[in-house]
Amino acid sequence: MKRLLFVLALLATALACKEEVPEPSIADTLEDYTIEQMMDNENVGGGSFSPDNSKLLVSSNRSGIYNMYTVPTSGGDFVPVTASDSSSVFAISYFPDDERKLFRMDNNGDEIWHIHLMDRDGTSRDLTPDEGARALFYGWSEDKQSFYYGSNARDNRFTDLYEMDLETLTPSLVYQNDEGYSVDLISDDKRYIALSRNLNTNDSDLFLYDLNEESLTKVNENQSANSAQDFGPDGYFYYTTDEGGEFAYLMRYNPGDGSRQKVLQRDWDVIGSYFTEKGTYRVTYINEDAKNSIEVWNMAEGKPLELPSLEDMDITSVGFSDDESMMRFYAGGSHTPSDLYVYDLESKEMRQLSNVLNPEIAAEHLVQAEVVRFPSFDGLEIPAIYYKPHQASADSPVPALVWVHGGPGGQSRQGFSPVIQYLVNHGYAILAVNNRGSSGYGKSFYRMDDQNHGDKDLKDQIAGKDWLAAQAEIDGEKIGILGGSYGGYMTMAALTYAPEEFDVGVNLFGVTNWIRTLRSIPPWWESFKDALYEEMGDPYSADSVRLRAISPLFHTDKVTKPLIVLQGSQDPRVLQVESDEIVAGVRKNGVPVEYVLFEDEGHGFVKKKNQIEAYGRVLNFLDTYLKGEPAAPIRDGAMEEPELPGDSQ
């Protein structure tokens, strides 16, 4: 009996010990992924149905840069249509009645887009060959015998409207834009053109130009944000406006009698709406707390279309075949890249056409974002997107980065970012701050930084840093700031005007001299120029005094923290000289500065080899100067820093 009791006691002890062994956490099994692995996630976009619905025409960067592919709607392999190894190719559409294809290309990021035709035999030609002119596709005519496009070939400041005949492939001028409007839409009956004029970066006036009467009618009654959306099957003109409210809602306008009617309003901005080819469905996009919410309304039945449901993912965009029997959509989230699906509206059958996550990456190792809010210096509530590394805890606090979006007026959103996931995977928490002046949170919030850049918007970033430092899982002594374009400006403003707040800065093609940037905007921004000057200040006026004061280039002597700058030499928005000069200026302080220049990129890096180079260099920089760890060796073939004025002296 004693022996039996002893055995039972041992068994109970063993069972107790077994129960006490914790399951391994994600942090215990987490792998450190290389930048090559993380950037080998595929990015697929677009999705034009072929005339018989058997294929979709898409863009993908699986080759290292964007090219055009087809994929069967029944499932199967992506078939390459183009094989560019230099400039990226983006699919536009199949032709309505045959399998000819339209696509667009620029020259390594210079944003001078041309529209190209690929014929059925695989040969291609430039349909808009005017040198130095950019062309933008506006859509097919109702009879499918032509398509519309905009071009600034006549005057590089203004975009005219053209119609391209599909039989002869010759264009004809529809509307000569001498007044600098933005050309938005043309009605199915070819009578009305929707035009807009920016008043400031939020507000714009909306007009209908009657081609029959050669008359112009203003659609909106008061100053507000207005955006053309579609001409509906009911003959009405649909547009969004924030007139009388904080958020944009959907309206319709009767061109016949000038009457207006509210169609759809939500607690967030309605950011887009269109009708499907036969008018059966109205698709509407809502910017709901920094992610897309999509509503598809069945017009005939007067009720919403029930969209497919996918576990732990959101549908981010939809598109319909011309016969409205099929829908293609993308679904993903902050923790997973978006895959392409097709959905049969009659059978309710759903099919996944892509699998874009690199199979070498375990999905559970990626991090889902969390929306947080914190008070700024003046009590204003600031929204932000927070990415917490799996390995972060109160017992093992991690360094962090404040991430600043582009703009001014942009928004950090809850979408998948391989760069963010790469940095988070390597132990950096990220707080993407939507400072005052960001879109998506009401027009009052949006206007709060007008002619106040480098001040209150910067203080919002500092408040974000303070919020991070207060989190138990964050090492408050190791917080940097990172951003691109306007976010790059904010990085430099932080290092210049608040030099003790952040420990390092990552400047991706950021503005550093507002006077030069505002004076050198691309000519095709002419219609937007006055609105930009309204927000930022006129560089040809007394505003130049303030613009100089907020331009970090003139105050580089204040920078004391390590800096890395990345730039594309073809960038038409933020010129290379901006980065050249800020690097030269900061180096005079004896501060560690790294500079990475890409000869074949524009405003942002789209080629995988350059993304790998850029963000691998960023991680090495952060590990060295924020974590304080030895830098990993630069890969073979890494580009050298450019020689700057004064470097050889």
**Domain membership flag for residue 562:** yes
Which three-class secondary structure state does DSSP give residue 432? strand
Q: What is the pLDDT of residue 449?
A: 87
**Domain membership flag for residue 491:** yes
**To the nearest whole percent, how much of the chain has pLDDT over 70?**
93
Neighbours of 31 (CB within 10 A): 11
Round the average pLDDT of the chain to a whole number and report it.
92
Q: How many structural domains is the chain composed of? A: 1
CATH number for the domain harbouring residue 559? 3.40.50.1820
- Cα angle: 225, vertex 546, 569; to 5 degrees: 75
Phi and psi at residue 449, to the nearest 5°: -110, 10
**Domain membership flag for residue 179:** no
Is residue 13 over pLDDT 70?
Answer: no
Q: What is the pLDDT of residue 637?
A: 35
**Domain membership flag for residue 560:** yes
Render pLDDT for 553-571 as a digit per residue (tens, 0 to 9): 999 999 999 999 999 999 8
Q: What is the pLDDT of residue 526?
A: 78
Q: Dig out the tokens for 91 from the structure.
A: 């699919």
pTM, full prediction: 0.91
Render pLDDT for 283-298 as a digit per residue (tens, 0 to 9): 999 999 999 999 999 9
d(CA 319, CA 544): 46
**Domain membership flag for residue 572:** yes
**Domain membership flag for residue 157:** no
DSSP 64: S
Q: What is the pLDDT of residue 450?
A: 84
**Domain membership flag for residue 433:** yes
Is residue 397 over pLDDT 60?
Answer: yes
SS (H, E, C) 165-207: ECCCCCEEEEECCCCCCEEEEECCCCCEEEEEEECCCCCEEEE
Q: What is the pLDDT of residue 138?
A: 97
Render pLDDT for 185-209 as a digit per residue (tens, 0 to 9): 999 999 999 999 998 888 999 999 9
d(CA 29, CA 391): 10
Q: What is the pLDDT of residue 585?
A: 97
Cβ partners under 8 Å of residue 369, min gap 6: 334, 335, 385, 386, 387, 414, 432
Q: For residue 429, what are the domain limits?
A: 367-513+551-627
Is residue 353 over pLDDT 90?
Answer: yes
What is the pLDDT averaged over residues 87-97?
Answer: 96
**Domain membership flag for residue 67:** no
Q: What is the pLDDT of residue 23?
A: 67
Q: What is the pLDDT of residue 1?
A: 40
Render pLDDT for 108-130 as a digit per residue (tens, 0 to 9): 999 999 999 999 999 999 999 99
379, exposed or middle or buried, with CB in 10 Å at 0-12, 13-18, 19+?
A: exposed
